[in-house]
Amino acid sequence: MIRKCLFPAAGYGTRFLPATKATPKEMLPILTKPLIQYGVEEALAAGIHTMAIVTGRGKRAIEDHFDISYELEHQIKGTSKEPLLREIRDVIEHCTFSYTRQKEMKGLGHAILTGETLIGQEPFAVILADDLCDHEEGDPVLKQMVELFNRFRCSIVAIEEVPADQTHKYGIIAGEEIEEGIYRVQNMVEKPDPKKAPSNLAIIGRYILTPDIFDKIRRTKPGKGGEIQITDALLKQAGEGRVIAYRFKGRRFDCGSVDGFVEATNHFYEKYRAK
């Protein structure tokens, strides 16, 4: 059973400067809801109630967001605006939040290792809140992955096909398709040049990881820019035949980029208007 979800949220979000100078990237809203709340709601929909958040300096707004604001509650109680707080109240009521800080931004692998103290020795989910996922029908993406974990009992990475000229932005996998959309991963390359990419199947910001990943990250040497990549540690698990890549059903928006952020805004605005 997956009980905990880790949110690495310590990155600087430099692509969104100056907005992210004093505001965490994860708190940027798509319509009226911050990115990280979408992520927490997705975890909750997958049956996960314990949220573990890796933050850094200047990220305190995340903690305040997932706490009760008594003045605000008092101010809007009984007014027409009260329903606007319904979703966040639900989240606060049904989840527990714990936090730890990544002192130096040494990459996603390092951020995940920083979260070890909150996770312990059990399989766990990871959501990168700036990859916003939506689904039209069926289950939300993380729930689809939890179901797959219950079958395969190994690490699961979510993948999507990207245009060949975009492979340099992602971890790219190669593997054997064992069922439609389900691959046993044999190889993984971090941000390859299109010519060197083993496929166009890119890892996006949803993972389920088994806890041996922590030791594997510890044994991973820093790569490009001194960063510790999660891909390198996952490759060690893949070498043991213990990583499944899953072409999820749904749509992902790269809200860490301006284009993706605007696309997500338009997508959710269309849905909001259609209500």
**Smallest distance from ligand UTP to CB 25, Å:** 6
The residue count of the chain comes to: 275
Shortest approach of ligand UTP to residue 208 CB, angstroms? 17
Query: Cβ of residue 70: shortest distance to ligand UTP, in angstroms?
Result: 29
Nearer Cβ to ligand UTP (77/168)? 168
Nearest to 3 by CA among 43, 54, 37: 43
CB–CB of 181/193 below 8 Å?
no
Contact status, residue 227 vs residue 203, Cβ threshold 8 Å: no
Question: Rounded to the nearest whole angstrom, what is the least distance from the CB of residue 153 to ligand UTP in the complex?
Answer: 26
Residue nearest to ligand UTP (CB): 11
Q: At its nearest, how many Å lie between ligand UTP and the CB of residue 13?
A: 5
In the bound complex, what is the minimum distance in angstroms from residue 131's beta carbon to ligand UTP?
Answer: 8
Q: Which amino acid is at 213?
A: I
SS (H, E, C) 125-175: EEECCCEEEECCCCCCHHHHHHHHHHHHCCEEEEEEECCHHHHHHCEEEEE
Distance CA 96, CA 50 (A): 5
Give residues in contact with ligand UTP (CB under 6 A). Answer: 8-15, 25, 54, 102, 105-108, 110-111, 128-130, 256
Q: Output 166 or 186, the one with its CB closest to ligand UTP.
A: 166
Task: Name the residue nearer to ligand UTP (CB basis): 98 or 150.
Answer: 98
- Identify which of residues 33 and 81 has a Cβ nearer to ligand UTP in the complex: 33
Between 169 and 271, name the residue whose CB sits nearer to ligand UTP. Answer: 169
Q: Cα(133)–Cα(270) distance, rounded to whole angstroms?
A: 15
Dihedral, CA of residue 191, residue 197, residue 199 and residue 202, to nearest 10: 10
State which residue, 81 or 168, has the beta carbon closest to ligand UTP: 168
